[in-house]
Amino acid sequence: MRVQMLGLCRFSYVGLRGYQVEHDTYEQRRAYLYDSQRLARRWAWFTEVALPTWRAQTDPDFTLVVMTGPDLPEPYLSQLRDLTQDIPQLKLELVPPMQQHLAACWQAVAPHVDPSADVIGHFRHDDDDAVAVDYIAATRKDFNRVKALWKSTGRMSLDYSRGLMLELGAGGAKLTPRICHNMGVALTIFLPPDLPETALNYDHSKLPMWMPGVAVTDPLMFIRSIHRDSDSGAMGPGLAWQLKDKQLDRQLQRRFGFSLDGLNALAPKLA
């Protein structure tokens, strides 16, 4: 059974709905998203936290669609185009502002769906989060273990629940280990290739309403960032787990290619 891994990353897309921070008009939304200082911070999160682990995936067979508007200010639009030349898995889609957010997401993803695949592993990825370097490989392996469940329903979620909550401030990086179910990052929604939906069609906090799910609570699989520009600034519910500083640094390096010193050095730029 061939699985296509297909993700969507929204980068400052000027569309209404689909976010917890809402605006009444496109003009208000554009002013908020395209604020020069905010864009500079988002670009730093994207290029220095989100992208390194996508570059380093042990299984390179995936597509990550980066969705933004055709009027994204320079130099960011040109830099996104450059990134798609540098990282072959990245595909840039310029979607005009749309009121129906799910339709906009489908417009971005649809050109990249492989109709010959048996199943599409849809995932969403925020531009300030990170997944472990074996997320794609682990998802394929674990889907194969439980594919009978997907065959019986046609929809299924696979959730990697063990992660780190990252906060950056004047004192550097603070990382809080948490087990959080269906957080949204490192979460895959398996759908048939002919179904015109993406991972965004399903509220990740309510997935059991629509499909069965499998939670994999080990190993460490994601970093979720919490900061002033987050669409949701809350850590949310979860279970605490412990990592000593030396263990944390080893896990950051092994799972993400990061170091605690490196994240501390990013704090002045991203806080």
Give the pLDDT confidence score for residue 169 in this predicted structure.
Answer: 80
Give the pLDDT confidence score for residue 228 in this predicted structure.
Answer: 64
The one-digit pLDDT tens for each residue of the chain (271 residues) are 899 999 999 999 997 665 555 667 888 889 999 999 999 999 999 999 999 999 999 999 999 999 999 999 999 999 999 999 999 999 999 999 998 899 999 999 999 999 999 999 999 999 999 999 999 999 999 999 999 999 999 999 999 999 999 998 878 899 999 999 999 999 999 999 999 999 999 999 999 999 999 999 999 999 999 876 665 556 677 898 998 888 999 999 999 999 999 999 988 877 6
pLDDT tens digits along 56-99: 999 999 999 999 999 999 999 999 999 999 999 999 999 999 98
Give the pLDDT confidence score for residue 227 in this predicted structure.
Answer: 76
- In the chain, the domains with their CATH numbers are 3-270 (3.90.550)
Structure tokens at 151: 């065959």
Helix (H), strand (E), coil (C) string for 164-202 = EEEEEECCEEEEEEEECCCCCCCEEEEECCCCCCCHHHC
pLDDT tens digits along 148-181: 999 999 999 999 999 999 998 878 899 999 999 9
DSSP characters for 46-69?
Answer: IIIIIHHHHHT-SS---EEEEEE-
Spatial CB neighbours of 153, under 8 Å, sequence gap ≥ 6: 211, 212
The DSSP secondary-structure symbol of 25 reads S
Measured in residues, the chain has a length of 271
Give the pLDDT confidence score for residue 55 in this predicted structure.
Answer: 97
Give the pLDDT confidence score for residue 22 in this predicted structure.
Answer: 65
| Average pLDDT along the chain | 92
Closest among 44, 101, 90 to 263, alpha carbons compared = 44
